[in-house]
Structure 1
Amino acid sequence: MSTDVTKLADRWGLNPAHFWMWDRRPDRPVKADENGVVHVYGYQEVVEVYSSPAAYSSNVSAAFLGDAEAADTLNEGTLLQQDPPEHTKLRKLVSGVFTARMVAGLEPRITAITTELLDAAADGDGSELELVDALTYPMPVIVIAELLGVPQSDRVLFKKWVDQMVAAAGAMNAGEGDQQLEDADVAAAMRHVPELLDYLRHHVDERRAKPRQDLITKLVQAEVDGERLSDAAVVNFANELLVIGHATTSALLGNMLLCLDSQPEHMARLRRNPELVQGVTEETLRFLSPITGSYRVATTDTELAGVQVPKGSLVTLWLGAANRDERQFDRPYVFDPDRVPNPHIGFGRGIKFCIGAPLARLEARIAVNLLLERFPELHTHPDVPPEFLPVDNTIGVTRLLLCTG
């Protein structure tokens, strides 16, 4: 079974920047553009960058802010823009708190939250379901909010703040020059919403005075080699988990429904065999990668696939394109949930592998199977196309109207 990705890209109205969705490949795996930005499209080349943190720094903000001290303050406690050895120490500390056992224990609560949200969505006439408002936005926000120990009733505030970040990132994405590069990642737009950081800081202060059984308390109390996280580090990590964790899961859920809708036989198979959801999840992460781009800065003069990469160059890792590299994947433009092995890099690689991946996978498994169980008929509305985030480094729906009958 083949998938005509050109028709899918046109049907979904995808951003032209996601060129691989039109069955297009650059003639080389690495290219430098007229502005000196190095674009990495090849799978092996992306893996090489991930494997070389000394040569390719994640601390993009330091390079473009031009102020290392300000960047350190901005990045303290964030895994996304830290390099070893600071990243190693932080990851070790956070991993001791954000454990696989802890994530697995969330399954009953995630199931209950998803069921409650679908019950609430069924209060209408039952013929349509707007997936984002009904499920893919609120479910991961509620889960992470409860995990952190902040009231899920404040999710309206979270949505306002996240919307502001996405709008800021979208405006920068449409801009030109250094400002666009400085704020290339949606996560960097968090400084445009100081209210969120102040909100989280209040909770950190409260946990130091009155500990609870929640993740913020565990982060406040955690130690590695006798060191604890600073208040700023706890705030920034909680923010990263809340914003990036919710956005990635929300995008993954929407993309899974788009992929299944485009391949009705796979949706029918999954209905009959819910255990196949793991293959659907992994293939969605490859075929319609929620995180399509990541950024690095070269710390030294180097070379990648024969292309010179001068010190200080911005390096863009196009994960969506790398996940379609025919040198790595057989039939890369076919959505195949039975693909084994499937070494996609939808969650990154190596030391930068997403720490929230087990939670995102668990939420995806529960949500998609409950959706198919609840709605015997489920397909995208023929007259209302999906709407997507207005950024180049992400593919995720902001509106997805489904027909349920």
Structure 2
Amino acid sequence: MPDTVPGLDLADQPTGYEALTAWWAHMRDHAPVRRDRALGHWHVFRYADAVTVLTDHETWSSDLRSLVRQPEQFAIVARGAFNGFDPPDHRRLRGLVSKAFTPRVVAELEPVVRRITRDLLDAARGEREVELIDALAYPLPLAVIAELMRVPLTDRERFRRWADALFYQGRGDDPVIVPTEEMLLSVEPLIGEMNAYFLDVIAERRRRPGDDLISGLVLAEDGGQRLADEEVLGVCGFLLVAGHITTTMVLGNAVHLLATRPDAAAALRAEPAAIPAAVEEVLRLRGQLPATARRATRDAELGGFLIPEGDVVLVWVASANLDERRFPDADRFRPDRSPNQHLALGRGIHFCIGAPLARLEQRVALEELLAAWRDFRLGDGVEFVDPRQAIGLRRLPIRPVWADHRRPR
């Protein structure tokens, strides 16, 4: 039986992206659904099975709050974290958030994203080596979030600490799916800081609303229903995590891929209209989140196994996006790939509500970067994040050849 093959649990795998992708490939072929004996959870590796889980929210719940007792501050912010809810609560909260986070709001951010990107690139202009994560990939999304919420950019280091605490939840280097209460308690003080900060901002916007996103969330109404303060807080926390992690990781991955493929970079520089498709291919090949968890609401069959009610299933979306059964030449970077129905931004009712903003930031950043650099190569000292938790880079030294002239503003 596939679930009794030794040495194939998550804890058995060496750290490193290549090792993890090799494990995924083996499991897609030999054990596409497998129970991890050490963790007690199930792994799902193939695209078709991943879609089955992600699109059936009645059978596969996103609400994992019952699995571990949440400390007080986590429980507070979780009241608005609708990405971890099921209907009807998910439908109500997402509907209200959608009234504030509209396509028009995102579209109007394009000149802001472009200005911030150009300012960051200009600050590094002339440098023989640029550490891309600190110079662009990290500060860009936080500056955009600060602009969107109208909070001081001088607080960006606090935002980063809070986003990391929410995302990693005290896991450290432990390959766990659901963090323990002890892990959550280790970052509880940071979550308390974030909650106090944003609840003060929310109270101020209730008194004096403006044209920012937090004011829009405070004022959003549907059938007489409005978001409570703690629900608005949860959305702010979600945006911190989604904005920081998604754009930082994916932009770093995009530049890393193009730095090792100068022909692809040159082609996109010559035809910027092709950049959106290239962004989708980066999301497929090097999407930011390796996996997402679901809980079985009833006994359910998956991949020939009966998953008992209450068991947790870890859907390896990054493995699904490399499934040759769905994507020909799945291991190759093909910027013009079409169709490209990857799962990096989710599927079903939990499709990422911030996807339009994430795509906008990636497109604009690559347009500006390719215009600013006539050529670029990797420097020394590239460092990757633990790919079991996020797919991206901690350090990305780039050696650019700067264009002779700045683009007109």
Regarding TM over 0.5, the answer is yes
Aligned equivalents of 1:297, 1:183: Cα separation in 2: 20
| Equivalent AA in structure 2 for residue 138 of structure 1 | P
**Structure 2: gaps spanning 5 or more residues:** 1-14, 402-409
Find the residue that maps to 1:379 and give its secondary structure: strand
Name the CA shift for 1:169/1:387 in 2 (closer, same or farther; >3 Å): farther
Separation of aligned partners in 1, 2:177 and 2:41? 11
Q: Name the SS of the counterpart of 1:348 in structure 2.
A: coil
Between the aligned partners of 2:83 and 2:324, the Cα distance in structure 1 is 28
- State the secondary structure of the residue aligned to 2:68: helix
**Superposed counterparts of 1:29-48, under 5 Å:** 29-34=32-37, 35-48=39-52
**Matches of 1:289 and 1:360, distance apart in 2:** 12
The answer (yes or no) to whether the contact 2:298–2:308 under 8 Å persists in 1 is yes
Partner in structure 2 of residue 18 of structure 1 = 20
Aligned position for 2:389: 393
State the shift of 1:189 in Å: 6.3
Residue 401 of structure 1 deviates from its aligned partner by: 0.5
Q: Which residue is equivalent to 1:7? A: none
Is the Cα contact below 8 Å between 2:163 and 2:244 reproduced in 1? Answer: no
> In the TM superposition, what is the alpha-carbon distance from 1:181 to its structure 2 partner?
9.5
Relative to structure 1, the CA distance from residue 391 to residue 267 in structure 2 (aligned partners, 3 Å threshold; closer, same or farther) is closer
Aligned to 1:86: 89
Distance change (3 Å), C-alpha of 1:332 and 1:22: same
Question: Is contact 1:23-1:333 (8 Å) kept?
Answer: no
Structure 1 segment 304-383 matched on structure 2, within 5 A: 304-381=302-379, 383=380
Shift of 1:82: 0.7
| Distance change (3 Å), C-alpha of 1:24 and 1:314 | same
Aligned equivalents of 1:181 and 1:30: distance in 2?
28
Closer/same/farther in 2, CA of residues 190 and 53 from structure 1, 3 Å limit: farther
Corresponding residue of 2:12 = none
Q: 2:58 maps to what in 1? A: 54
Structure 2: distance between partners of 1:191 and 1:322: 36
Label 1:367 to 1:281 Cα distance change in 2 as closer, same or farther (>3 A).
Answer: same
Q: Which amino acid aligns with 2:213?
A: L
Check conservation: 2:133, 2:252, Cα contact below 8 A.
Answer: yes
Report the CA distance shift for 1:395/1:328 in structure 2 as closer, same or farther (over 3 A). same
CA contact (8 A) 1:20 1:320 kept: no
The aligned runs of 1:108-257 (5 Å cut-off) are 108-122=111-125, 126-165=127-166, 168-171=169-172, 173-174=173-174, 179-180=179-180, 192-257=190-255
Give the structure-2-normalised TM-score: 0.87
Does residue 1:95 correspond to 2:91, yes or no? no
Identity of aligned residues (%): 39
Pairwise CA distance, 1:20 = 4.5
Stretches of structure 1 that go unaligned for 5 or more consecutive residues are 1-12
In the alignment, is the contact (CA less than 8 A) between 2:385 and 2:392 conserved in 1? yes
Q: Is the 8 A contact 2:288 2:392 kept in 1?
A: yes
Shifted more, 72-81 versus 256-265: the winner is: 72-81
- What corresponds to 1:10 in structure 2? none
The whole-number CA distance in structure 1 between the counterparts of 2:70 and 2:307 is 20
Distance (whole Å) between structure 1 residues aligned to residue 70 and residue 114 of structure 2: 46
SS of the residue corresponding to residue 204 of structure 1 reads helix
Structure 2 partner of 1:6: none
Instruction: Answer yes or no: is the 8 Å Cα contact 2:289–2:344 preserved in 1.
Output: yes
Root-mean-square deviation over aligned CA pairs: 2.6
Alpha-carbon distance change, 248 to 336 in structure 1, aligned in 2, over 3 angstroms: same
1:128 Cα offset (Å): 0.7
Q: What aligned pairs does 1:66-85 form with structure 2 within 5 A after superposition?
A: 73-85=76-88
> TM-score, structure 1 length as denominator?
0.88
- Give the CA deviation at 1:115: 0.6
Question: Shift of the alpha carbon at 1:262?
Answer: 2.6
Does the 8 A contact of 2:163 with 2:240 survive in 1? no
Q: 1:373: how far off?
A: 0.7
Cα distance in 1 between the residues matched to 2:138 and 2:170: 18
Deviation, 1:151, is: 1.3
Residue deviations 1:337-386, cap 9 Å, x none? Answer: 111100001100011110111101111011111111111121111x32x2
* Offset, 1:91: 1.1
Letter in 1 for 2:116: I
Deviation at residue 225 of structure 1 after TM alignment:
1.6
Shift of 1:216: 0.5
AA matched with 2:202: V
Indicate the larger mover: 190-199 or 93-102. Answer: 190-199
In structure 2, C-alpha distance between the alignment counterparts of 1:177 and 1:393, rounded to whole Å:
9
Report the count of equivalent residues: 384
**Does structure 2 conserve the Cα–Cα contact (< 8 Å) formed by 1:75 and 1:82?**
no
Q: Which amino acid aligns with 1:114?
A: T
